[in-house]
Amino acid sequence: MQKMKLVVVGNGMAGMRVVEELLKIAPDLYDITVFGDEPYPNYNRIMLSPVLANEQTIDDIILNTREWYAEHNITLHTNARVDRIYRESRVVYAEDGTSAPYDRLLIATGSKPFMLPIPGAELKGVIGYRDIKDTNDMIAAAKTHKHAVVIGGGLLGLEAANGLKIQGMDVTVIHKNDWLLERQLDKTAGKMLQLSLEAKGLNFMLNANTQQLIGHESGEYQGCVKAVQLDDGTELSADLVVMAVGIRPNYALAESAGIYCNRGIVVNDTMQTYDPRVYAVGECVSHRGTSYGLVAPLFEMAKVCATHLANFGIGLYKGSVTSTKLKVTGIDLFSAGDFSGGEDTEEIVLHDAVGGVYKKLIIKDDKIIGSVLYGDTADGAWYFQMLRDRKPIHEIRDMLMFGEDSLGNTGHSGQDKAAAMTDEMEVCGCNGVCKGTIVKAIKEKGLFTIDDVKKQTKAASSCGSCTGLVEQILASALGGGYAPPSTAKSVCGCTDKNHEEVREEIRRHKYLNIPDAMKGMNWRTPNGCATCRPALNYYLLSTWPHEAVDDPQSRFINERVHANIQKDGTYSVIPRMYGGVTTPDQLRKIADVADKYAVPMVKVTGGQRIDLLGVKKEDLTNMWADLDMPSGYAYAKGLRTVKTCVGSEFCRFGTQDSTKLGIDIEKAFDHMWAPHKVKFAVSGCPRNCAESGIKDVGIIGVDSGWELYVGGNGGIKTEVAQFLCKVKTAEEVIEYSGAFIQIYREEARYLDRTVHWIHRVGLDYVKQRVLDDAEGRKAAFERLLYALQGATNPWAERVEKRSEHKEFDIISIPA
Amino acid sequence: MSSWIKIVPLGDIPKLGSRVVRSSKGDIAVFRTEDDKVFALHDKCPHKGGPLSQGIVYGDKVACPLHSWQIHLADGHAVEPDEGQTACFAVKVEDGSVYLEI
Ligand code: SRM
Ligand SMILES: Cc1cc2nc3c(=O)[nH]c(=O)nc-3n(C[C@H](O)[C@H](O)[C@H](O)COP(=O)(O)OP(=O)(O)OC[C@H]3O[C@@H](n4cnc5c(N)ncnc54)[C@H](O)[C@@H]3O)c2cc1C
Ligand code: SF4
Ligand code: FES
């Protein structure tokens, strides 16, 4: 079959991002030709500032080398400006006569610096700041000249000014407003920024308007700029003038081809222009009336555009909320959303003028709508996340200003920590990745997202506790180029739907098996991946118990074989000892089995039972038969252990029979699958010897009844369980905790522990469902009991139906 | 000299699953995809030797059970950016039986 032809005009960040996304999902669909009018392959434009500041070189910032284009069979024309598009015959022509026919055309021509239309604007030495050429011009000018004037105190202007200063020039920034970065900062923060930049040696003239540029009239520098004149008559010497007063979408080419434009190429939510064969992305487009000047939104557009070019026809771009950061080393500022205030908004402000810290949050209808941070930006990503997710804040409002750490709910470490770390310091303890490795990968490989960093460096890809730190490193390396992933993210690359949407569709359409679910929800891949299949399998089973089909091949190996895989491919066997109570008989059986199968290690676990480690897979079934004890589900996303203490039967302080209640709970909820593992503990008095304070459900006996705590976690990040309620009887404990767990089972995202789920929905919500709504609680508890009806010990099942479980048998062949 | 050895009926390998064959060349994982293609790889992940046979199979890849490297079934290469390759063996299905070339 002949491939379709895709032509891309504009070899920049947005256009090539579409190509990369497209190659990932439909590598063989198109013959691709790219035109770019710059002499380079695609590079990381946002890193021009570090290049100017001598922190990086041009070579460092190339994103796609010429070899990369060749490897992917992409025809690249550099130095080739497209000046004609013939939409009827579907061909584009470049100025040098090169032409290319297309079936689909992608326009990604970016934008142009806006040059003030003032007298002298055409003089030599007057430039914008947009590309490698401008950057090289500035570096060259600094070698021979002294005075630079930057017009415009926005992000780009300040980065240019900082770079020129580092290159050795005297720099003055002319800005027409009262304070710098007036679109990103309020006045207070703008003034603090000005002080810090003045300390670096920059000069500022605020409330100043440029009237004209004056050139040398004769001599060696005839035709070159000499001075800048302001409207009050002031003259400033200038050998170099950088205009950074804004950008204009570059849509002239599209417009000349008759494609509808309105201050940008007008596109719909699928990034299609008015000509259905022509797509457009990047700074050149106008989407719902907005043009963007930062890479994060462009990348979101690129993802959507690629799925449509790939004929998947899914994904909509609905606009972006952006955040910004200034890429000047040593200056921390962060700004997002709307911070101008207004009628029905409230402000929370923290200002330490001496310490150089300023934070302002703008709140409307119980949600953050804007934030400005200066000096301490550690919580920028966190506020931005809440802003994007429109998260209600009343529960944490009093602590909001003190940052995420004050809530004690993540392993996050602030900007200050990331910045203070040396390159050799370890960021990811699981995979041994140092800060230097991450920074290097971000810069050299052009990484923009946490996922990119995870894939390339493995940092944050195992237990995830360093994700916050990696985010900080990304944010400081990329400036506004970094957008934290929305928490409502899609399940994986196989679909655009997020967890909630997937659950909802499974419920609505009553999908009962994975193939139907994937088909019904337009999965992009024929049978998903190792991320979505286990999630789907769980959602099906938890939504339609007894009806949905359990797919063993979609379970992680541990759940498939009911044992925990070890580093050398052997397995561990942990039988249940309900409530941590055992008998001499059980111990004898365990000892006999350990002897018979020469188990390399027998260990008492942290969960009050015994672990037989290093068992060969082919021995598992025989061993289970000999043991004749139930599986402890120590491998499952499901009910793990119910730890207990001695309690009132023996302990002199015991107020309640915690051991018995623990055993009853473990039996009542045995065989339960859940989004992640679930652990209980029951202590007989507030001395709490079973450590109820760090369990998903912790129960503490008191003289008058039982206290229930939920959402504790003793793992990656210790979380203290929160008080839910106090009840009188053991039956009530089982009903309340069962209802809580059932709602978690029905509503949490796969791989969320209870604590993560509660953080998202709020403890108030949990209380409302479990405490205030008595009928709802009873119904939820009934649903749990129904789901568990008839469940049996999986080890016994495998022993009985050995012939149906061939996966345990090894096939031997003659030598 | 290598020769084709009959292993098991195709139906004895679960779809999107695998079986382990113990041979003089070490353990070999024989995979079956959704559309009944079969592949055979040395049952050792190029990362830290994890048993690939125990991983989740999807498309024509398998995710290693130990640290989730993804391995192409067709040539044993790890999916980028991971680097490494595990050995492959020839397999075929004839008259409903799976044959392995050793
Ligand atoms: C066997 C045991 C250690 C021991 O020798 O005592 C153990 C062993 C493992 N734990 Fe654990 N955990 C064990 C008690 C704990 C405890 C303590 C407890 O339960 O009181 C905790 C902290 C409490 C908690 O979960 O809140 C604990 C927190 C973790 C975590 C972090 C969970 C978190 O949400 O932060 C993981 C990783 C995960 O699940 O993703 C983990 C994962 C693991 C795995 C399953 C890693 C894996 O996927 O292969 C380990 C298997 C080792 C092996 O080769 O078989 N293990 N693990 C304990 C088994 C208890 C049992 O009888 O079932
Ligand atoms: C110095 C600097 C610092 C920045 N810092 C940040 C930052 O910290 N964070 C952030 O998010 N963003 C930053 N930006 C903005 C970011 O670089 C842009 O948003 C992004 O590059 C836009 O991508 P694009 O593909 O739309 O345009 P571009 O990357 O400009 O690509 C368009 C390409 O098309 C070419 N072209 C145009 N017309 C034609 C034609 N007719 N024929 C052939 N080729 C053509 C252009 O030459 C260009 O190479 C910065 C920009 C600059 C200049
Ligand atoms: S048993 Fe738990 S703490 Fe120990 S190495 Fe394994 S996962 Fe880590
Ligand atoms: S051993 Fe396979 S991913 Fe580590």
Determine which residue's CA is closest to atom 34 belonging to ligand 1: A715
Interface test with A, best of B16, B62, B80, B89 (most A CBs within 10 A): B16
Q: Which residues of A are less than 8 Å from B34 in CB distance?
A: 526-527
Search chain A and give the residue with CA nearest B43. A569
Residue A45 CA to residue B51 CA, distance in Å, equals: 44
Search chain B and give the residue with CA nearest A529. B58
Question: For chains A and B, what is the number of CB pairs under 8 angstroms?
Answer: 82
Question: What pLDDT, on the 0 to 100 scale, is given for residue B25?
Answer: 87
Q: Which residues of B are less than 8 Å from A27 in CB distance?
A: none
pLDDT digits (tens, 9 = 90+) for A6-55: 999 999 999 999 999 999 888 999 999 999 999 999 999 988 998 999 88
Beta bridge partners of A210: A230
Distances (CA, A) of A94 to A73, A81, A131, A590: 20, 5, 20, 79
**List of chain B residues with pLDDT < 50:** none
Q: Which is higher by pLDDT, A474 or A671?
A: A671
Residue B22 and residue A813: Cβ atoms within 8 Å?
yes
Q: Is the CB of B64 under 6 A from ligand 4?
A: yes
Residue A290 CA to residue A157 CA, distance in Å, equals: 22
Find the length of chain A. Answer: 815
Nearest Cβ partner of A807 from B14, B27, B51?
Answer: B14
What is the token pair recorded at A301? 């557009």
Q: Any idea which ligand is nearest the CA of A94?
A: 2
Q: How far is A807 from chain B (nearest CA, A)?
A: 6
Residue A807 and residue B17: Cβ atoms within 8 Å?
yes
Residue A334 CA to residue A766 CA, distance in Å, equals: 34
pLDDT digits (tens, 9 = 90+) for A258-275: 999 999 999 999 999 999
Whether pLDDT at A337 is above 90: no
Tell me the angle at which helices A450-457 and A467-478 cross, rounded to the nearest 10 degrees: 110
pLDDT digits (tens, 9 = 90+) for A512-537: 999 999 999 999 889 999 999 999 99
Residue A60 CA to residue A80 CA, distance in Å, equals: 24
pLDDT digits (tens, 9 = 90+) for A595-627: 999 999 999 999 999 999 999 999 999 999 999
Kindly report the pTM of this predicted structure.
0.68
Q: Which of A564, A617, A689 to mutate to test the pocket of ligand 1 (most atoms within 8 A of CB)?
A: A564
Q: Which residues of A are less than 8 Å from B59 in CB distance?
A: 525-527, 529
**Ligand 1 centroid – CA A635 distance (Å):** 9
Task: Work out which ligand 1 atom sits closest to the CA atom of A613.
Answer: 55
Whether pLDDT at A422 is above 90: no
Residue B59 and residue A552: Cβ atoms within 8 Å?
no
pLDDT confidence tier of residue A396, bands split at 50, 70 and 90 = confident
How many alpha carbons fall within 13 Å on the CB side of residue A385?
Answer: 16
Nearest Cβ partner of A526 from B7, B34, B66?
Answer: B34
Q: Any idea which ligand is nearest the CA of A714?
A: 1
Task: Work out which ligand 1 atom sits closest to the CA atom of A571.
Answer: 55
Q: How far is A793 from chain B (nearest CA, A)?
A: 22
Whether pLDDT at A413 is above 50: no
Contact B64, B71 (CB under 8 A): yes
Q: Is the CB of B84 under 6 A from ligand 4?
A: no
Residue A536 CA to residue A521 CA, distance in Å, equals: 11
Residue B58 and residue A530: Cβ atoms within 8 Å?
yes
Residue indicated by tokens 């024989």: B30
The answer, yes or no, to whether ipTM is higher than 0.85 is: no
Q: Which of A466, A559, A566, A611 to mutate to test the pocket of ligand 1 (most atoms within 8 A of CB)?
A: A611
**Ligand 3 centroid – CA A715 distance (Å):** 10
Q: Any idea which ligand is nearest the CA of B41?
A: 4
Least confident stretch, A295-299, A417-421, B71-75: A417-421
**Ligand 2 centroid – CA A12 distance (Å):** 6
Interface test with B, best of A529, A537, A807, A809 (most B CBs within 10 A): A807
**CA A349, A353, A354 angle in degrees (round to 5)?**
140
pLDDT digits (tens, 9 = 90+) for A61-88: 898 999 999 999 999 999 999 999 999 9
Q: How far is A600 from chain B (nearest CA, A)?
A: 19
- Chain centroid to CA A298: 16
pLDDT digits (tens, 9 = 90+) for A757-800: 999 888 999 999 999 999 999 999 999 999 999 999 999 999 99
Four-CA torsion A643, A649, A655, A661, nearest 10 degrees: 40
In percent, the amount of chain A with pLDDT more than 70 equals: 96
CA-closest candidate to residue A85, choices A257, A279, A251: A257
- Chain centroid to CA A684: 42
Least confident stretch, A220-224, A254-258, A293-297, A634-638: A293-297
Contact B44, B25 (CB under 8 A): no
pLDDT confidence tier of residue A410, bands split at 50, 70 and 90 = very low
